[in-house]
Amino acid sequence: MTTVGAQNAGVERIAAAFAGSGKRAALMPYLMGGFPDLPGSLRIGEAYADGGADLVELGVPFSDPLADGPVIHAAATRALAAGANMHEILEAARRITGPSASGSENGKPSSMMSAPPSTAAFASSGVSGSAIR
């Protein structure tokens, strides 16, 4: 599938999550990728899916306390200390079954991969969208 095709599929999965939720809004819990470690974040993601999440916002750890606030910063710091990296986070997105994953990051992690490879990597991992702060 091309990057454009994968992006369109991602948009369709997000739209389906909102349309299929039968509610005014879809349930989209946040998960810091790699927190407390990669196996733990996968278990949390699966629990979200089992609990009825329509989408999962999967955070990419990067230390920016001003942008993230103390709780997300602490989770990112712990994930980074456990060895989390962009490739592991993308693997987590690929392995979380059920709800569609949506990536969330500040601009730094994806700027470490250039924009097109980052977009292609997100799309090939099954990530449906990306919110870059």
Active site residues: 57, 68
40 pLDDT higher than 90: yes
Identify each DSSP E strand in the chain by its residue range.
30-32, 55-59, 100-105, 127-132
Pick the more confident residue, 48 or 119: 48
What is the number of other CB atoms lying within 10 angstroms of the CB of residue 75? 21
Considering only the top CATH level, what class is 31-132? Answer: alpha beta
Compute the distance between CA of residue 4 and CA of residue 70 in angstroms, rounded to an integer.
36
pTM: 0.72
Domain map (residue ranges) of the chain: 31-132
21 pLDDT higher than 80: no
44 pLDDT higher than 90: yes
Largest CA distance in the chain: 40
- Contacts with 123 (C-beta within 8 Å, 6 or more apart), sequence order: 1, 3, 6, 7, 10
Within its chain, how far is the Cα of 30 from the centroid? 8
Amino acid 93: pLDDT:
82
Q: What is the mean pLDDT of residues 40-52?
A: 90
54 touches 18 (CB < 8 A): yes
Pick the more confident residue, 74 or 91: 74
For all residues of the chain together, what is the average pLDDT?
A: 75
Pick the more confident residue, 91 or 20: 91
Amino acid 107: pLDDT:
47
